[in-house]
Structure 1
């Protein structure tokens, strides 16, 4: 198999670099300063074992490869808000022997949230979901880091909407050789919804700083945000893996260690604000809970607030963590009070 990593940022760059280290054929897809650095100087992957350097083919899109191979695997690692554009470009790409990528090739969605796989299934016939437990950072153009050890990450894989097959087992076997644990499960959605609940704190971290470092006030607010999410999933009849099952899967397999030359940063939403991309994934994390809440009649004022704030921060290129936590808590309390006691009709 040849792995085409569509979106060679923190997650994509780490997976691509580790696969290349394990002897797999890898192509990176990236644009802008990051793409130029990858093409000119190679991929630098900083991990606990040291700095790895890979000179890999780099393209901006399918035109850079011409006809795709029948053994290609498309691994989608762009942010969910960029999924539609990526699939529009790669879906029609011709494959040797006839047909298109959308008809013939496996598309592996290694992204946060649950929306990208639904978008993908409208275009691609063979879609696979991944629950991504992979702490990674896009450090500079051409450089990514992954601080987990002894494993770099844990990637639960399965067909979407459900099931397994020989293709996903072969992909998992390749990942298992590359510092990942890659369980193949028939119910990958359960794992992805559990990750969605965890990711509801991404917007909180992005606007007011890391929850774990901000004391009990931030942790209490996150617990309230998550409780909204759990209430929504229950109302929608959606199952997710509980804390005990997740802990049994993770154990101490991915422990973070300090890396020389890599400043401690936040998660994916924090990184989007740090790089000033102008977009953020809140519409597909907190916004997924808001959508389900509206569909099933469950109020979600805290997730609505975080979705709105995160989008505003991205659009205004505001620095991550710049909203004081007491101010965020006040806004959260006001949002809940407004739902509980909506204003009466105008006089």
Structure 2
């Protein structure tokens, strides 16, 4: 089984590096300066148990790679980049006949819950993966993964539900590389729990670490909206208590091993896009569909999107300013 990591950023690079350490067959897919750094110098993976450089095959486009029936496509781009990536890979030929969309398993190792639906339009065999993996990608070629003693926990199952031998084979490969990977027939239930946790990402990206009463109050209100919306939509999700019990002390964050979260990293790299449309925006969407007001998540989605488009620095808004916007004030 060869793992093709489509999007070798914080999550994809961490998974690819740990798989490589376990002597699994890995190909990285990256763009621009990150691609050049990986190609020329290798993947520098910094973890609490040391720093390693992995010289792995790296490509920028699917046309550069010959696909085989034993390949697994692991999609770890941000959701706003999913459609382009899925379109690029689905039609690629596989040795022996057929296309990637017809034959190969595609695993959505991403935040949010939209990519699985996008993938299922193009791929017959789609797997959901809930990613609990604290990692940072800011500098080209370097990934900092701060989870210890395991780098991450990756629940995997068929989409929309179920489990099969392919999921078990993928999980077994991951678990050889300090990555816990429970096979979960209800993987989307875990992804919706992660969606709630990721509602904090926009607050962190805009104002810095979510600490202090003001930031925590915004988060409390965003989470309350999220839970109300999911309940109204009849969507199940694992509780915070259940998630904490499952993770236990298996994946804890080394304080020196991570910067900000994924949305903070997007602003820090000046990508011009941010995944908030598929995090807070997912709550806003469901709220409109089920007639549940979501003013806090609406505001977080709108303001974070403006920050990305305008290339404003991560953490450059005060909590007081954000609170005023959430409350509809113009102070």
User: Structure 1-normalised TM-score?
Assistant: 0.93
Deviations 1:257-299 (A, max 9, x none): 244xx6x521000000000000000100011011100000001
Deviations 1:91-128 (A, max 9, x none): 00000111000000000000000000110000000000
Given the alignment of the two structures, is residue 11 of structure 1 paired with residue 11 of structure 2, yes or no?
Answer: yes
Equivalent residues in 2 for 1:166-181, closer than 5 Å: 166-181=165-180
Equivalent residues in 2 for 1:84-163, closer than 5 Å: 84-163=83-162
Given the alignment of the two structures, is residue 295 of structure 1 paired with residue 289 of structure 2, yes or no?
Answer: yes
Distance in 2, Cα, partners of 1:139 & 1:310: 18
Count residues in correspondence. Answer: 330
Report if aligned partners of 1:139, 1:145 keep a CA contact under 8 Å in 2: no
How far residue 139 of structure 1 moved from its aligned partner, in angstroms, is: 3.5
Report if aligned partners of 2:138, 2:268 keep a CA contact under 8 Å in 1: no
Deviations 1:42-62 (A, max 9, x none): 000000111011100010111
Given the alignment of the two structures, is residue 184 of structure 1 paired with residue 183 of structure 2, yes or no?
Answer: yes
Structure showing greater radius of gyration is 1
Distance in 1, Cα, partners of 2:233 & 2:245: 26
| Residue number among 241, 244, 251 corresponding to 1:244 in the alignment | 241
Give structure 1 regions of 4+ aligned residues with deviation exceeding 6 angstroms: none
| Residue number among 241, 253, 258 corresponding to 1:256 in the alignment | 253
Q: Which residue does 1:221 correspond to in 2?
A: 218
Q: Which residue does 2:260 correspond to in 1?
A: 266
Gaps of 5+ in 2: none
| Pair 231,258 (structure 1): closer, same or farther in 2 beyond 3 Å | closer
Q: Which residue does 2:196 correspond to in 1?
A: 197
Distance in 1, Cα, partners of 2:215 & 2:277: 21
Q: Which residue does 2:298 correspond to in 1?
A: 304
Distance in 1, Cα, partners of 2:150 & 2:213: 30
Q: Which residue does 1:46 correspond to in 2?
A: 46
Q: Which residue does 1:333 correspond to in 2?
A: 327
